[in-house]
Structure 1
Amino acid sequence: MTALLDAYAPTDEAELSGIVADHFRRASPLCIEGGGTRIENTAQGQRLSTARLSGVVTYSPGEMTLIARPGTPLPEIEDMLAAEGQALAFEPPDLRGILGRNGIPTLGGMVAANASGPRRLLAGACRDHLLGLRFVDGQGRILKNGGRVMKNVTGLDLSKLLAGSHGTLAILTEMVLKTLPLLPARTTLICRDLDEAQAVRLFSTALATPFEVTGAAYRDGTAYLRIEGLEKQLTYRRDRLLALLTDHDPEVLDDAATVTLWRDLRDVSHFAGLAAPLWRILTKPTEAPRITAALHTLGGQTSLDWGGGLIWYAGPGEATQIRNIATHATLIRRAGVTGPAFPPQQGATARLQQGLRQTFDPAGILNPGLMES
Structure 2
Amino acid sequence: MTTFTPTTAQEVLNIVRWAAAEETPLEILGHGSKRGIGRPVQTEHVLDLSQLSGITLYEPEELVLSAKAGTPISEIEGLLAEHNQQFAFEPMDYGPLLGGESGHGTIGGVLCANLSGPRRIKAGAARDHVLGVYAVSGRGEAFKSGGRVVKNVTGYDLSKGLAGSWGTLAVVTDVTFKVLPAAETEKTLVLSGLDDARAAAAMSEAMGSSAEVSGAAHLPEGVAGRFLSGALAGAARTVLRVEGVAPSVDYRIDLLTRLLKQFGGAEIIEKRESQTLWREIRDCHPFTDGTEAAVWRVSMAPTEGHRMVDAFRRAAGANAYYDWQGGLVWLRMEADPEADILRKLIVHFGGGHATLVRATPAVRAALPVFQPQPPELAALSARLKEQFDPRNILNPGRMAAA
Q: TM-score, normalised by structure 2?
A: 0.88
Q: Hey, what does 2:249 align to over in structure 1?
A: 234
What is the one-letter code of the residue matched to 2:238?
Answer: A
2:259 is aligned to 244
1:334 counterpart letter in structure 2: A
Unaligned segments of structure 2, at least 5 residues: 221-235, 347-351
Alignment of 1:79-94 (within 5 A): 79-94=78-93
Tell me the distance in 1 between the aligned counterparts of 2:375 and 2:203: 34
| TM superposition shift of 1:102 | 3.3
**What is the alpha-carbon distance in structure 1 between the residues aligned to residue 199 and residue 168 of structure 2?**
37
Alignment partner of 1:8 is 2:4? yes
Aligned Cα RMSD in Å?
1.7
Amino acid at match of 2:284: V
Code of the residue aligned with 1:255 in structure 2: it is: K
Which of 367, 371, 383 is the aligned partner of 1:339?
367
Partner of 1:360: 388
Partner Cα separation in structure 2 for residue 307 and residue 313 of structure 1: 17
**Greater displacement, 59-68 / 214-223:** 214-223
State the partner residue of 2:223.
Answer: none
1:132-178 deviation digits (Å, cap 9, x = unpaired): 11111111111001110112342211121111111111111111100
The structure 2 residue matched to 1:18, chosen from 14, 18, 30, is 14
Q: Map Cα deviations across residues 13-57 of structure 1 (whole Å, 9 max, x no partner).
A: 111111111211222211111122235151222211111111111
Question: C-alpha separation between the residues in 2 aligned to 1:331 and 1:311?
Answer: 12
8 A contact 1:32–1:48 mirrored in 2? yes
- Corresponding residue number in structure 2 for 1:43: 41
Q: Residues of 2 paired with 1:274 and 1:294: CA distance?
A: 28
How many Å separate the matches in 1 of 2:388 and 2:209? 43
SS in 1 for 2:90: coil
How far 1:78 moved relative to its partner?
A: 0.6
Answering whether residue 387 of structure 2 is matched by residue 369 of structure 1, we say no
Query: Which residue identity is paired with 2:343?
Result: R
CA contact (8 A) 2:120 2:326 kept: no
What residue identity is the alignment partner of 1:359? Answer: Q
Gaps of 5+ in 1: none
- 1:6 shift after superposition: 4.0
Contact 2:34 2:94 in 1 (8 A): yes
Which deviates further from its counterpart, 117-126 or 11-20?
117-126
User: For 1:199, what is the secondary structure of its paired residue?
Assistant: helix
User: Paired residue for 2:273?
Assistant: 257
Cα distance, 1:354 vs. partner?
A: 0.8
Pairwise mapping of residues 246-325 of structure 1 onto structure 2 (< 5 A)? 246-248=261-263, 249-273=265-289, 275=291, 276-297=293-314, 298-307=316-325, 309-315=327-333, 316=335, 317-325=337-345
Q: CA deviation at 1:308?
A: 7.0
- Return the alpha-carbon distance in structure 1 between the equivalents of residues 206 and 68 of structure 2: 39
CA distance in 2, matches of 1:200, 1:38: 31
Counterpart of 1:69, as a letter, is: K
Q: d(CA) in 1 for partners of 2:140 and 2:129?
A: 26
- 2:107 aligned residue: 107
1:135 match: 135
Deviations 1:39-91 (A, max 9, x none): 51512222111111111111001111001011001111011111111111111
Name which of 235, 239, 243 aligns with 1:224.
Answer: 239
TM-score (norm 1): 0.94
Aligned residue number for residue 74 of structure 1: 73
Match of 2:227 in 1: none
| Further displaced range: 119-128 or 105-114 | 119-128
Which amino acid is the alignment partner of residue 333 of structure 1?
R
Q: Is the 8 A contact 1:188 1:227 kept in 2?
A: yes
Matched residue pairs, number?
369
Contact 1:93–1:115, Cα closer than 8 Å, also in 2: yes
**Same amino acid, percent of matched pairs:** 42
Report the counterpart of residue 226 of structure 2 in structure 1: none
Segments ≥4 residues shifted beyond 3 Å: none
SS in 2 for 1:342: coil
Alpha carbons 1:162, 1:170 under 8 Å: kept: yes
